[in-house]
Amino acid sequence: MGKEVHVTWLSQEECIKAGAKDMSFILEYVEKVNVWLSEGKIVESNLLHLLWDEHEHAGKRIGVHATLIRSEEMGVAAVKGIPSNPENPQKLGMPRSNGIIIIYDESNGLPIAVMDDKIVSDMRTGAGSALGAKYCANPNSEILGIVGCGPIANAHIEATSLVMDNIKTVRLYDINEINARFFAEKWEKLGYDFEICSSCEAAVADSDIVYTCTNVDIGNEYIPKEWVKKGSFHSPASIWDYTEEAVLEGFNKYAMDFEGRLQDRGYPLTELTIDNKLDRNRINVTGNIVRGIETCRTNPEDTVYYCTLGICATDLAISYTLYKRAKEKGLGTEVNLWNNPAHV
C-alpha cells in the first residue's frame, strides 16, 4: 500500500468557480456554524494576533486561527492565516488582506487541501453581521448606515439584502467620497435609495442598522453615545469605532457570535467584562439565539450592540464544502506532501 499524501491546491479563482461568492450559500453555513458552536460540535481556538508594531492593532498584522468541526455533516479541522497590511491598496494596488486555509482530515490529521481564504473571509464577515441583524435588529428596519465602503462593506450590504426585507435607504460615509459613490453605483441594483453623507454622524445617527467597516485602531474611537438611535442595531466589523461610553450607555442589549473571545483582551466587550464594567450575563450568544435558548431583542426600543469576531469554523465549513465542489468540477492542482514519509 502506498504512503504518498496528495494535497489539493485551490486558487482564489478556483474557489470563486466553486461558489465562494455565493452569499446565500455563505449565509447558510455561517448560521449552521453558529448553531454547531452552541451545540458543542466545534472546538475553536482563541485568535492569535501577531503585530509588526505592538501598538498598532489595526496596522500590519497576521491573524492565526485553528478549529475542529465534529458535526453530522463534516468532521474536519483547519488552520487559517490571514495577514493584513493597510498600506497595500495605496502602495501596491493590492487588497489589504489575504488569507490561506489548510484543511485537515480529522481521522488521520493529514492535510487534504490548501486554499485561498481571502474571499471566504470577507464574505463570512459580512454574513456574520447580517446574521446578527436577522435575529437582533428590528424586522421593520428601513435605514442602513455604513461607515467605510471597501470590500467588507460590500459583503455586509449583500448579506443584509438577503435577510432584511424592509431596507429602503442606505447612508454611506467614507473618508474618500469617491469610494462611497463607487459603492452606491455598484449596489444600485438592489433598488435602495443611496445617500452619500458628508459626515460619519450623518450615516450613523438616524440609521436603524449600522455597520462600521473601517481601519480604526484602539484610542481612535469616534462614535459617541449621542449618535446611537434608540431601537437600532449596530455591528462594528472594525471593532474599535465606538467609545466606551457609547458601548456602555448607548445600548441596553449585547450579543456576540463567539463567547470564547471574552477570555482575551483586545476586543471592546472583552475589555469591559474583564474590567467588570459590563456583566458577562448581559451578553447573548448568536447560536443560542438562533436555537431559541436565548433572546436578545424583546421589544422595538431595545438597542443592540453586536460583535461578530470571526469564527474560524465558518471559514472551514465553507471552504471544505467548496473543496468538495471543486473536486467534483475537476478544479485544483494535486501536489504531494510526500511520496514516502521520511520517518514512520
Segments making up each domain of the chain, as ranges: 5-120+312-338, 126-307
- The fold of 126-307 is Rossmann fold (3.40.50)
> What pLDDT is recorded for position 264?
73
In this structure, the dihedral spanned by the alpha carbons of residues 123, 227, 190 and 181, taken in order and rounded to 10 degrees, is: -90
> What pLDDT is recorded for position 125?
95
Q: Does residue 88 or residue 232 have the better pLDDT?
A: 232
- Please determine, for residue 1, whether its predicted confidence score (pLDDT) is greater than 60: no
Q: What is the mean pLDDT of residues 135-142?
A: 98
Q: What is the mean pLDDT of residues 155-159?
A: 98
Range among 51-65, 76-90, 209-223 rated most confident: 209-223
> What pLDDT is recorded for position 247?
97
> What pLDDT is recorded for position 58?
65
For residue 263, the tally of other CB atoms under 10 A from its CB is 10
Q: What is the mean pLDDT of residues 141-146?
A: 98
For residue 177, the tally of other CB atoms under 10 A from its CB is 14
Closest of 223, 202, 200, 211 to residue 157, by C-alpha: 211
Q: Does residue 66 or residue 219 have the better pLDDT?
A: 66
Distances (CA, A) of 318 to 112, 121, 311, 313: 15, 10, 12, 8
Question: What is the average pLDDT score of the chain?
Answer: 93
Question: Please, what sign has the CA dihedral across residues 177, 183, 188, 192?
Answer: negative
> What pLDDT is recorded for position 341?
87
Residue-by-residue DSSP string for 275-304 = TTSS-GGGEEEHHHHHTTS--S--STT--E
Least confident of 20-34, 154-168, 305-319: 305-319
| Pairwise CA distance, residues 196 & 178, whole Å | 10
User: Is residue 173 within 8 Å of 146, Cβ to Cβ?
Assistant: yes
H-assigned helices in the chain: 12-17, 23-38, 88-92, 118-136, 151-163, 177-187, 200-204, 244-249, 268-274, 286-290, 312-329
Q: What is the mean pLDDT of residues 133-139?
A: 98
> What pLDDT is recorded for position 312?
93
Residue-by-residue DSSP string for 44-84 = EPPPEEEESSTT-TTSSEEEEEEEEEESSS-EEEEEEEEEE
| Pairwise CA distance, residues 317 & 311, whole Å | 10
> What pLDDT is recorded for position 93?
78
User: Is residue 228 within 8 Å of 250, Cβ to Cβ?
Assistant: yes
Percentage of the chain lying above the pLDDT 70 cut: 98
> What pLDDT is recorded for position 48?
78
Q: State the pairing for strand pair 143-147/5-10.
A: unpaired
Residue 236: pLDDT band with limits 50, 70, 90: very high
Residue 252's identity, in one-letter code, is N
- Beta-ladder partners of 338: 5
| Pairwise CA distance, residues 304 & 180, whole Å | 26
Q: What is the mean pLDDT of residues 71-89?
A: 87
| Pairwise CA distance, residues 262 & 268, whole Å | 9
Homologous superfamily of domain range 5-120+312-338: ornithine cyclodeaminase, domain 1 (3.30.1780.10)
> What pLDDT is recorded for position 91?
81
> What pLDDT is recorded for position 287?
97
In this structure, the dihedral spanned by the alpha carbons of residues 87, 157, 147 and 188, taken in order and rounded to 10 degrees, is: 100
Closest of 50, 97, 44, 98 to residue 69, by C-alpha: 44
Angle at CA of residue 101, ends 320 and 123, nearest 5°: 75
Q: What is the pTM of this model?
A: 0.93
Instruction: At 311, list the grid cell.
Output: 469564527
User: Is residue 192 within 8 Å of 168, Cβ to Cβ?
Assistant: yes
- Please determine, for residue 259, whether its predicted confidence score (pLDDT) is greater than 90: no
